[in-house]
Amino acid sequence: MRLARLTAVAALALPLSAWPALKPGDAAPPFRTPAAVGGQVFEFDLAEALKKGPVVLYFFPKAFTQGCTIEANAFAEATPRFAALGATVVGLSHDDIDTLRKFSVEECRDKFAVASDPKARTIQAYDAASLLPGMAGRISYVIGQDGRIAFAHEGSNPLQHVEETLKAVQRLGAARR
């Protein structure tokens, strides 16, 4: 009984992702998936986005939940700063595309795309699975134009994901000069 309690407490103390995140220098797995921006559905292709500049790919557990709404609002507010640095922001979750179409308008404020991964293929490829079934963990990556992970951040504070990825994109831009 005591061992079961200790195991349960330890499980709660662990991050919600089941596997360690990809590390800087790792190749970013390519993917294409339905996405929405401003309520309009399109096919997001990582390779195409990388032709324009670095990509901030953030995984979030579930649209319209408190933390995910805070994170989406903060990324929306910061999107012009990311764009000024040549970076594309895309959020990705297990939610279906109809839910994300609404989320892209209401919480992402038409500023950036959110992509749907209902079969969790991309979530698994990026080691972003949550211990909670049907959800991604809260993990953010900055992917350089070379297709490699330049930065990874995992943590429960949604605002830190925006702050840390913005700093990483700024460093990446400074390194290219």
Provide the annotated active-site residues: 68
Q: How far apart are CA 145 and CA 62, in angstroms?
A: 28
User: Contact 88/56 with Cβ under 8 angstroms?
Assistant: yes
Beta bridge mates, 46: none
User: Contact 46/142 with Cβ under 8 angstroms?
Assistant: no
Strands, sheet with 40-45, edge to edge from the N-terminal-most edge strand = 40-45, 32-37, 113-116, 88-93, 55-59, 139-143, 149-154
Give Cβ neighbours of residue 146 (< 8 Å, ≥ 6 apart). Answer: none
